[in-house]
Amino acid sequence: MNKINKLFSDNQDRKLLSLYFCAGCPTLEGTGEVIKTMQRRGISMVEVGIPFSDPMADGPVIQDAATTALKNGMTLSTLFSQLREIKDDVQIPLVLMGYLNPIMQYGIERFCQSCVDSGVSGAIIPDLPFKDYQDIVKPIADRYDLRIIMLITPETSEERIRFIDEHTDGFIYMVSSAAITGAQKSFDEQKQDYFRRINAMHLRNPRMIGFGISNRQTLQSAQQNAAGAIIGSKFVTLLSETGSADKALDRLFDALEQ
């Protein structure tokens, strides 16, 4: 069974926590150690960012991390090589998050094969048009048992959400707001209404809520309204500040109690 599906099947009552970081930041060679540290500290799933020069859905924190990673020499080929080295040590699901351009340059079939070879269970491609996903990417990904995760936002129509739910597997990435990534202090009533509206749809796929989670209020709100929460910018900031995954996690867990 794909590790993503197994995670949600085995933890139907547990509120999951997934973290994002950008491969190659703060150091080129640190990717594997960051992932292994997250696993050791109890993180449920890891999103590994593929650095790109024009990350249109990302805020300044993740843009800066991508710039650093590219300057450090991180490439998709290098990332897959690093992930293969730790494949046997990692049991939690790994999901690559990156934009279509570098993946297309690498080659869709080659990308899916490399994911399998390096222990990756899924991919999030924010700028992948859904029709291209259905017609081109999904048939190839299905052959490799790779989950392509789709995003929904407060502005996504119910019809489209149900269509995405019907034609995807793994989980749905529920973006908390129709904005770029970045930490927020709280989720206002408008976002709470959005969470309640999606809950009432009783979708087939589990959902993870991301964008803006950085403290106890936003974490609890996300975990109460979905299978779990995804934290990106807050952890990326702490990792850059400390240079240590363990120290960054210490500070993150402290922040999530406040």
Cα 200 from chain centre: 24
Contact 91, 4 (CB under 8 A): no
CA angle at 225 for the pair 222 and 227, rounded to the nearest 5°? 80
In the annotation, is 47 catalytic? yes
Neighbouring residues of 40: CB distance < 8 A, sequence distance ≥ 6: none
- CA gyration radius for the chain? 17
| Annotated active-site residue in 29, 47, 54, 117 | 47
Contact 139, 106 (CB under 8 A): no
In the annotation, is 58 catalytic? yes
| Annotated active-site residue in 10, 29, 58, 241 | 58
Residue 35's closest CA among 116, 103, 112, 93?
A: 93
So which residues are the catalytic ones?
Answer: 47, 58
